[in-house]
Amino acid sequence: MIARSRPAEVLHKTAGASLASQVVTEIDRRSEAIILDVLTPTLERFELGLLTEERDDDRSRLTADYFWCIDPLDGTLPFVEGVPGYAVSIALVGRDAKPWIGVVYDPVEATLLHAISGVGAFRDRRPWLTEIPNAGHSAQGEVLSVFADRSFLTRDDHDVTLAGLEQIARERGLVGVELQVASGAVMNACGVLSNSPACYLKFPKPAGGGSLWDFAATACLFHEVGAVATDMHGGPLDLNRADSNFMNHRGVVFASDESLAARICKLHPSGT
């Protein structure tokens, strides 16, 4: 109920370069406390590591076979603005960076998504069968839904990238591109699954670029529904990066099908 209204106090922390990575509220911390009340006993019982946004990385994720990867409130910026686009994200990730469990809760729609590697994906605890379109067939009047962070609008190559996306849309027989930049990383990825054909992209950059906890749970969801979650080179997401929590080094691509993901990767000079 608290999460449906704007917080009274917005704090700032030292994080990435964008405002979205620097704001934090009491709700972020209370959400984390509730989650850890449940999960902390599992750390010792199952010898798990822990990585959570509002605490320092103790690097237990690098020695444990598995670790909890928690974003207690992804999309804090839309939350403080009083608009949809925020969610709770929890994942169980292997030391080899494979996501084994992914859980996303959207408090605005009161919707729970979860996936278990090799078992399937679920929406509100019922099997979730999303429609992943055939890359060669598009319904008349369809658009390519493109999800991105707000920083995409200020990129120097914004116009060139948008033109490339429009070209991809034409190649697929779509009428154009619909760009959406209002949500946090987790809900951007979930938007791809709800608006196929669609993609969510983050190009490599020197710093920032989203953190491990922004992508771990949704990566598991994507794997289980047959969609694509890779870096900008077409490789697996490095969800246990040893030298940093950030994913800027190789970028991120979430796409509704493999053909679209491959074309998105080619938009960046370093892509495949």
Tell me: the pLDDT tens digits for 170-227? 999 999 999 999 999 999 999 999 999 999 999 998 888 899 999 999 999 999 999 9
- 262: left (phi > 0), else alpha (psi -120 to 50), else beta? alpha
Handedness of CA 271, 214, 3, 92 (dihedral sign): positive
Q: Whole-model pTM above 0.95?
A: no
Say whether pLDDT at 136 is over 60. Answer: no
Return the amino acid letter for 107. P
Comparing CA positions, the residue from 194, 86, 186, 74 lying closest to residue 145 is 194
pLDDT in tens, 26-78: 888 899 999 999 999 999 999 999 999 989 999 999 999 999 999 999 998 89
Comparing CA positions, the residue from 257, 258, 217, 256 lying closest to residue 237 is 217
Which one is predicted more confidently, 71 or 269?
71
Say whether pLDDT at 131 is over 70. Answer: no
Say whether pLDDT at 132 is over 90. Answer: no
Domains assigned to the chain? 2-127 (3.30.540.10), 144-265 (3.40.190.80)
pLDDT in tens, 68-110: 999 999 998 898 888 899 999 999 999 999 999 999 999 999 9
pLDDT in tens, 149-168: 998 999 899 999 999 999 99
Q: Would you state the pLDDT for residue 20? A: 47
Query: How far is the first Cα of the chain from the last one, in angstroms, to the nearest whole number?
Result: 45
Length of the chain: 272
Say whether pLDDT at 5 is over 60. Answer: no
Which one is predicted more confidently, 18 or 196?
196
